[in-house]
Amino acid sequence: MTTLHKKPSLPATYGGAAWLPRTKSLAEELTAQKYWHHCGTSTEWGKLREIILHWPGEELNFSEPPDHQLMLARPDLATLRHQTESLVTLYQKEGVTVHLSDLSEQPPPNFLFQRDLFWATPQGVILGRPAALQRAGEEPFMAQVLADLKIPVIYHPHGQATFEGADALWLDPTTVLVGSGVRTNPEGVRQLRWLLESMGVTLLEVNLPQGGQHLLGVVNFADADLAVVHGGRVTSQLTGLLRERGIETLILEPDPELTDGLGMNFVTLAPRRVLMPTGCPEIKKHYRQAGIEVVEAEVGEYLKAAGGPACLTGILLRENFQ
């Protein structure tokens, strides 16, 4: 009589019976919120739900001339903190969850501007790699903040690539505009295109004119079919692209409200509802005439540091993204 011996199962670590396969995609895991904090967006206009702001620290009491820190003037720290507190209150009134960065060490001064340091996709965030030497080293601080919130970082530009989040804007859930210029270089664009293609997203490169910072300073979306553009910086390439997509453009001509007051440096809170700087009454009037509701924030100390509401706000989550 032949005795049959049952072949012993492999240990689970080698794929045996106790091995549990991971079947959900990262996007599904984000939605389930079991391992990760829910985050992501594929629009610039969906209802804003979660953001990151940096609480200004002693790093703003730097000794160098402001220009050496990429700033226009020296912000007053006490006033800046008061403006940050007011921004938190405004956002919370709009139903937005605000995460304030809590760091044990002082980051570089421009860490104030969170928008540049990461960019959200439906599958997690892409960490920025700022182009200026003054901002080198901000990435580990941003990575720490994101890790503490359990936000997955799915990519970090490497090699000679530079990328700043304010150069990337969702045109629709399957198309992204990326500005190529002094802040995001061609290698950064190439790496971003490769990554987005793996998500089924098309990248459209926009060559930025000299004298600007980011794509966000050239075009900003108030809704899926309404873009605000800087009349002194917008290119025929970009206006043609928007026209082809059936997107209405509100053109703002260069004046002190636009160039000094950063009147188009707004954060879209919901379709046709924006948070913009105070002190821009004419631009505010143009917005209202275009059917845009306006919430104003005092950000004078941020303006000294060369940024406005859109620059200082890191977008984590919007509603109704795909």
Taking a C-beta distance cutoff of 8 angstroms, is the pair 280, 257 a contact? yes
**What's the pLDDT tens digit per position in 83-122?**
999 999 999 999 999 999 979 899 999 999 999 999 999 9
pLDDT of residue 209: 87
Check the CA dihedral 237-240-244-250 and report its sign. Answer: positive
Residues 238-266 pLDDT 10s: 999 999 999 999 999 999 999 999 999 99
What confidence score (pLDDT) does residue 31 get? 87
Specify the pLDDT at position 223.
98
For the segment 8-37, the average pLDDT, to the nearest whole number, is 91
Domain range summary for the chain, segments of one domain joined by +: 33-318
Report the 10 Å Cβ neighbour count for 133. 8
Stretch 130-154: mean pLDDT, rounded? 98
- pLDDT averaged over every residue in the chain: 96
Q: Which residues contact 96 (CB under 8 A, 6 or more apart)?
A: 48, 49, 50, 51, 269
- Give yes or no for residue 313 having a pLDDT over 70: yes
DSSP state of 316: E
Give the per-residue pLDDT at 251. 97
| pLDDT (average), residues 266-292 | 99
Strand order, beta sheet including 168-172: 168-172, 175-180, 202-207
Q: In the structure, what pLDDT confidence band is assigned to residue 155 with cuts at 50, 70 and 90?
A: very high
Predicted confidence (pLDDT) at residue 5 exceeds the cutoff of 90: no
Residues facing 223 on adjacent strands: 226
Q: Are 270 and 45 in contact (CB under 8 A)?
A: yes
At residue 268, the pLDDT reads: 99
Q: Which fold has domain 33-318?
A: L-arginine/glycine Amidinotransferase; Chain A (3.75.10)
Q: Which residues pair with 179 in a beta bridge?
A: 206
Give 321's pLDDT tier (boundaries 50, 70, 90).
Answer: low
Model confidence at 3, in pLDDT bands (50, 70, 90)?
Answer: low
Each residue of 71-82: pLDDT tens digit? 999 999 999 999
Q: Which residues are bridge partners to 175 per DSSP? A: 172, 202
| Phi and psi angles of residue 300, each rounded to the nearest 5 degrees, phi first | -55, -40
Mean pLDDT of the region 300-319: 98
Helix or strand run (H / E) with residue 172: strand 168-172
Two tokens, residue 108: 């570089």
pLDDT per residue over 181-235, tens digit each? Answer: 999 999 999 999 999 999 999 999 999 988 778 999 999 999 999 999 999 999 9
Q: 248-252 and 175-180: which strand pairing? A: unpaired
Task: Give residue 4's pLDDT.
Answer: 56
Distances in Å between the Cα of 307 and the Cα atoms of 112, 140, 216, 313 are 9, 22, 11, 10
DSSP-assigned letters across all residues of 95-139? T-EEEEE--SSPPPGGGG-GGGTEEEETTEEEEPB-SSGGGTTHH
